[in-house]
């Protein structure tokens, strides 16, 4: 290679690294300016930059796989509705349509075209979870998507720099917290603007008129690197099935994974049909978490973009719970979708010779607390709604214990006690490790936690629950024991269901025990020093 060719390649790599830094700045802008605690405190968001064909070039490290990988597909829907030649400087598009975005109405995706020298050169996209979108509120009780809140099709948030006041007025009239909802849309717009400004500075610095050459390098190099990793594996077909609680009746997630020279095929044929409740999963969300399961253990040092994602192909039968068709209710789609990485990793157990994690709690435990006037009959208190996130334990890792109270696969951070108590009239009496909840084994599963919530003034309050792993705990492997099942009940001793809205009576509290992860290997083979350390630290009896 000539000196000039080598220098050009170095410049390309520098620009690639710069794009990664730009999208991380974009994500941090979103966190700093967001109104919803789910974004500010938990990092329930995604951000990325796309070429003019709608292909994701770079994503921020900050964010969740469900948002990032689903958003990677959603930008294509935006361009199908508003082709490149129809967009102008100052335009900003948005939607929260579950089938064109990231799977449920609470997630708003905003897309901003970037112009350089009067030419469209890129698009920035960002998604965040907005606390309330009206309707029944965030929860699994809806029977159709129409009941779950306001649904805004792909359209303009800003056009030529002017805000779409009609859209904002409709939004404000349909949500419980209009200030937060509108503020989050401006936050999404601001983070895309921060990314766009940084990109324009980069183009000027490198004297570029477009990103076309950089885009080709990123996508081609990532695709080939991913294929190289896949070709090191045994080719063949592997199967795995996981049974989980569902809403009323258990559900089976059935997966066939095929490794070929040209990529990995994931097929969920045989999975349970769609539910009559709001736990259904649109296909984009299924594809997002299933592909993430692969990317965790195959080519995980290769950047996540259209090139590396494109060689992992995911399908699910129409009408199944993993490819729910409109107008199915989908608000709690995460309760099912976040199980999929563990299902995919179960398939990869054999071809990767056990170098994968065991089943964990997987799905977030995300109660939505509501109370006050209009929620509790007879209450005269100010109404409130808050969505908090908590995690169980992960399964045992290859040659390591599982992680305790860790949100895998979502990566969302648990909501701090101080935030919950400041944002709503709630008090947390307990937040502690759940002793002995990790499945025993040569390597034990991670521990869950115990949380106890009460109204600060002793009033009744409501909770919308989206909890799984109560009747079907995470399984161990190779002789390892299952993790402890999740549990939810009142301080008065009433057992609560894992799904749906219920009232916690005045003077009582709600106790949530999250599930522990499964263990791996014979418990008799566990190192004595590890057993002693667990006892010393109060993790086991």
pLDDT single digits (tens) 23-48: 999 999 999 999 888 888 878 889 99
Q: Quote the number of domains for the chain.
A: 2
Backbone φ/ψ region at 423: left (φ over 0), alpha (ψ -120 to 50), beta: alpha
Cα 219 to Cα 48, 58, 59, 156, 374: the distances in Å are: 14, 10, 13, 29, 52
Q: pLDDT at residue 7 above 80?
A: no
CA 301 – CA 146 distance, rounded (Å): 41
pTM for the model stands at 0.94
Q: pLDDT at residue 4 above 60?
A: no
Question: Do the domain assignments include residue 321?
Answer: no
Predicted pLDDT at 2: 54
Question: Do the domain assignments include residue 183?
Answer: yes
CA 303 – CA 55 distance, rounded (Å): 14
CB 512 within 8 A of CB 389: no
**Final residue in a domain of this structure, among 202, 223, 244:** 223
Question: Do the domain assignments include residue 493?
Answer: yes
Average pLDDT over residues 502-511: 97
**Final residue in a domain of this structure, among 197, 223, 249:** 223
Confidence of residue 5 (pLDDT cuts 50, 70, 90): low
Question: Do the domain assignments include residue 243?
Answer: no
Count of other CB atoms within 10 angstroms of residue 493: 8
Each residue of 239-287: pLDDT tens digit? 999 999 999 999 999 999 999 999 999 999 999 999 999 999 999 999 9
Question: Do the domain assignments include residue 526?
Answer: yes
Average pLDDT over residues 117-129: 94
Which distant-in-sequence residues (6+ apart) come within 8 Å of 496 by Cβ?
A: 465, 488, 489, 490, 502, 510
Confidence of residue 69 (pLDDT cuts 50, 70, 90): confident
More confident residue, 3 or 138: 138
Q: Domain of 436?
A: 357-541
Average pLDDT over residues 169-175: 96
Average pLDDT over residues 110-138: 94
Predicted pLDDT at 38: 82
- pLDDT averaged over the chain? 94
Average pLDDT over residues 62-77: 85
Predicted pLDDT at 44: 84
Question: Do the domain assignments include residue 479?
Answer: yes
CA 200 – CA 206 distance, rounded (Å): 10
Question: Do the domain assignments include residue 372?
Answer: yes
**Final residue in a domain of this structure, among 188, 223, 258:** 223
CA 125 – CA 277 distance, rounded (Å): 30
Helix/strand/coil for 497: coil
Q: What percent of the chain has pLDDT over 70?
A: 99
Predicted pLDDT at 61: 84
- Report the Cα–Cα distance between both ends of the chain, in Å, rounded: 64
Nearest CA to 28 out of 237, 14, 459, 20 is that of 20
Give the burial class of 365: count Cβ atoms within 10 A of its Cβ; 0-12 exposed, 13-18 middle, 19 or more buried: buried
Predicted pLDDT at 3: 55
Q: Find the farthest-apart pair of alpha carbons in the chain and give their distance in angstroms, rounded.
A: 80
Strands (E), 60-106: 92-95
Question: Do the domain assignments include residue 319?
Answer: no
Each residue of 356-400: pLDDT tens digit? 999 999 999 999 999 999 899 999 999 998 889 999 999 999 999
Q: pLDDT at residue 491 above 90?
A: yes
Q: Which residue has the tokens 């075209």?
A: 113
């Amino acid at each position: 290679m000539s000196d000039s060719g080598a220098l050009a390649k170095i410049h390309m790599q520098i620009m690639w690294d710069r794009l990664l830094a730009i999208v991380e700045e974009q994500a941090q802008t979103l966190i700093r300016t967001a109104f919803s605690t789910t974004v500010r405190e938990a990092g329930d968001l995604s951000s990325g930059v796309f070429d003019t064909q709608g292909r994701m070039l770079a994503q921020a490290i900050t964010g969740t796989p469900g948002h990032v990988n689903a958003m990677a597909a959603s930008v294509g829907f935006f361009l199908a509705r508003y082709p490149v030649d129809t967009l102008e400087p100052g335009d900003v598009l948005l939607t929260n349509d579950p089938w064109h975005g990231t799977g449920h109405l609470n997630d708003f995706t905003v897309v901003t075209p970037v112009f350089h020298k009067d030419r469209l050169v890129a698009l920035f996209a960002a998604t965040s979870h907005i606390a309330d979108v009206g309707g029944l509120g965030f929860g699994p009780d809806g029977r159709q998507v129409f009941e779950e809140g306001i649904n805004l099709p792909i359209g303009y948030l800003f056009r030529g720099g002017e805000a779409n006041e009609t859209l904002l007025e409709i939004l404000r009239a349909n949500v419980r917290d209009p200030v937060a909802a509108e503020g989050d849309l401006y936050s999404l717009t601001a983070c895309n603007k921060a990314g766009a400004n940084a990109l324009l500075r980069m183009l000027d610095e490198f004297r570029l008129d477009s990103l076309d050459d950089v885009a080709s390098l990123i996508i081609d190099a990532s695709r080939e690197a991913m294929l190289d990793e896949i070709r090191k594996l045994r080719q063949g077909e592997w199967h795995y099935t996981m049974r989980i609680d569902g809403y009323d009746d258990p559900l089976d997630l059935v997966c066939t994974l095929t490794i070929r020279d040209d990529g990995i095929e994931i097929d969920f044929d045989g999975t349970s049909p769609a539910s009559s409740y709001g736990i259904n999963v649109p296909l984009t969300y299924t594809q997002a978490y299933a592909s993430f399961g692969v990317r965790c253990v195959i080519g995980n040092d290769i950047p996540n973009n259209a090139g590396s994602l494109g060689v992992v192909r995911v399908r699910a039968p129409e009408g199944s719970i993993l490819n729910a068709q409109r107008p199915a209710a989908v608000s709690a789609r995460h309760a099912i979708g976040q199980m999929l990485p563990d299902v995919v990793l179960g398939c990869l157990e054999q071809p990767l010779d056990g170098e994968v994690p065991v089943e964990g709690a997987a799905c977030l435990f995300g109660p939505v607390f509501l109370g006050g006037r209009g929620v509790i009959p007879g209450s005269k208190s100010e109404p409130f709604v808050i969505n908090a996130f908590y995690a169980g334990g992960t399964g045992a890792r290859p040659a390591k214990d599982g992680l305790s109270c860790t949100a895998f696969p979502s990566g969302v951070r648990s909501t701090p006690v101080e935030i919950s108590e400041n944002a709503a009239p709630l008090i947390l009496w307990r937040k502690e490790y759940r002793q002995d909840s990790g499945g025993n084994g040569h390597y034990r599963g991670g521990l869950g936690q115990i949380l106890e919530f009460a109204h600060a003034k002793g009033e009744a309050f409501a909770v919308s629950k989206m909890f799984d792993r109560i009747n079907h705990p995470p399984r161990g492997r190779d002789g390892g024991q299952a993790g402890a099942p999740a549990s939810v009940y009142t301080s008065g001793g009433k057992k609560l269901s894992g799904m749906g809205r219920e009232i916690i009576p005045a003077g009582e509290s709600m106790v949530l025990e999250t599930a522990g992860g499964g263990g791996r290997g014979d418990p008799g083979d566990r190192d004595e020093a590890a057993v002693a350390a667990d006892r010393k630290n109060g993790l086991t009896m």
